[in-house]
Structure 1
Amino acid sequence: MLLLDSPPPDRHTLWEDVHGILVGTTLVALGIQFLRASGLFTGQIAGLALVLGEPTGIRFGLLFFLLNAPFYILAVKQLGWRFTIKSFISVVLMSSMVDLMPTAMHVEVSEPLAAALFGVCAGLGLLSLFRHGATLGGVGIVALWLQDTRGIKAGYIQLGFDLLVFASSFLFFAPMQVLWSLLGAIILNALIAINHRRDRYIARS
């Protein structure tokens, strides 16, 4: 809680934003590597890109970038150019990292551990992006806009979208595959819901 004589919160510097965005995108990309290595998926736009990439053969990075494009219209109108540009850069970085990481590392991990590692890595990565005024597009843009305008926690909004995705995925995936994937999404969104609160975090970006 701020004291009455507390100075207003400072904005993050440019280099702090660069650091936060690099750390955030790297963590999310690493989390996705765990998913891909174990045959799991996730919700939101990233999950859609993973699912569509299997039958089409299109690279995750390209699909993820294209699917996010329509959401930038909402970002510009409701959240401003500063947020939109940071988010655009974050999407490009993360998409590139996901496509390049398999050439530099090989991951073998069980499904339960993959779900947990994805949830922690991606959750912390998104948290870093949110706190530096960016997101990875898609549902994240809608979630941050609703949190800022309606007071609904971003993590809960994202989890709601994820539940819809996972409910329909039972038509296409084995039940245990869906359940382990859902565990990763729950861990991710719980991290965001608990740690990303405007009434606690006062730094600006």
Structure 2
Amino acid sequence: MPWDLSVTLATTSLTAFFVQCFYAHRVWIIGERNKLLTGAVLIAALVQLVFGFALLEATRHTGSMATLFNSPYAPVNAMGSAICDTIITASVFLYLRRSQFRILRKENYIHKLNLVFVQMGLITCSTALATAVLYYSDQLTGQYLTVAPAFILSKAYSNSMLAVLNARKLVCCDHQRHASLELPTLSSIH
């Protein structure tokens, strides 16, 4: 097995794990320190990481790239990632949706953040789910097609995290721009 493929597999698993831990921290903050929900996200992320490295070790042990397509670790890795992304997306959506109704503004910033979180969660979840579904599809060609979504998964995770961080900056700058249009308060005379 080429060394660059080993590095790619390890990088994909580690990137997914770190981004999912980043989102677990967001779930912790948004979910008002819900230990059960954050624990579920972290366990699913850990399952994804463990089975990703188990797949890497099985492939290195056999020395055959066919192990990538025949190993039972590949779909468990992908399903762990998809479950983690589903939990993250659903929990952030529900918590932000609930707090969205508390703020009565013409331009609701929480709505914008919620939209970005849901879009990014759907992209990563659908990519991980496509990997798992293709693994179980036609035995002759389907398993080999898992390579396509599997290799873009780490890029999808990286882009999702950067998009969420950039969205926060956009919302903050947009808020400051609208705040500058408001009339300043008059200072009191002493």
* TM-score, normalisation: structure 2: 0.33
- Higher normalized helix content (fraction of residues): 2
Structure with the bigger RCO (C-alpha within 8 Å, sep 6+) is 1
Larger Rg: 2
* TM-score, normalisation: structure 1: 0.32
